[in-house]
Amino acid sequence: MNDLPYTHLKKSLLGQLPVPVWPHGTRLQPFEAEKHSGSAHALLVEAYKNGGGSVGDFDCWWTALRNDPEYDPTVFFLAADARGEIIGVAQCWTSSFLKDLVVVGEWRRRGLGRALFLHACNVFHDRGAAEFALKVEDSNLSGAVQLYQRLGMSKVNQD
């Protein structure tokens, strides 16, 4: 269990939402557990190795994920490059909550994280959700919160 402090953010999904624009050479890749769980886990481990989040070893991570009542493979979004390599992950819970959003280093700052985020928002909007939420470790506030605020998220007051 991670005891680090978090900042909670939310975004209204009411009204028209921006359509994701996928960077040249990338595409949305449907998640297939047998085919993609290993590469998705490896990307999460790599992205979080210097902080900002954490993920356990594959067996613990995958068992906990697939047994969670909010897990749904249709809201586990992947981005792939032209070769089919997984270069981005946006894993959501069915409660319209973004659990993880990571992008391979060389694809950062090219709009891929934005595209994954907006795709997730549009999927939950179409499912009838009123808002989209996430939390960010306070150790990851500088870049992450700025990105999410540019995408229309605002901090949730915590009591």
Per-residue pLDDT of the chain (159 residues; tens, 9 = 90+): 445 688 899 999 999 999 999 999 999 999 999 999 999 999 999 988 877 778 899 999 999 999 999 999 999 999 999 999 999 999 999 999 999 999 998 999 899 999 999 999 999 999 999 999 999 877 665 677 778 888 999 988 765
Q: What is the pLDDT of residue 6?
A: 83
Q: What is the pLDDT of residue 1?
A: 42
Q: Which of 47, 48, 61, 102 is nearest to 79 (CA)?
A: 102
Cα separation, 153 vs 133, in Å, equals 8
Token readout for 72 is 């749904």
Assess if residue 14 is contained within a domain.
no
Supply the CATH number for residue 121's domain. Answer: 3.40.630.30
Q: What is the pLDDT of residue 144?
A: 76
Cβ pair 82, 32 in contact under 8 A: no
How many structural domains compose the chain? 1
Assess if residue 7 is contained within a domain.
no
Assess if residue 3 is contained within a domain.
no
Assess if residue 159 is contained within a domain.
no
Assess if residue 97 is contained within a domain.
yes
* 131-137 and 97-103 strand pairing: parallel
Q: What are the φ/ψ torsions at residue 76 (nearest 5 degrees)? A: -110, 100
Q: What pTM was estimated for this model as a whole?
A: 0.92
Cα separation, 64 vs 41, in Å, equals 12
Structural domain boundaries enclosing 35: 19-152
Cβ pair 92, 124 in contact under 8 A: yes
Q: What is the pLDDT of residue 88?
A: 96
Q: Give the Å distances, CA to CA, from 38 to 5, 7, 11, 15, 35.
A: 28, 29, 30, 36, 7
Assess if residue 2 is contained within a domain.
no
Assess if residue 157 is contained within a domain.
no
Assess if residue 130 is contained within a domain.
yes
Q: What is the pLDDT of residue 50?
A: 75
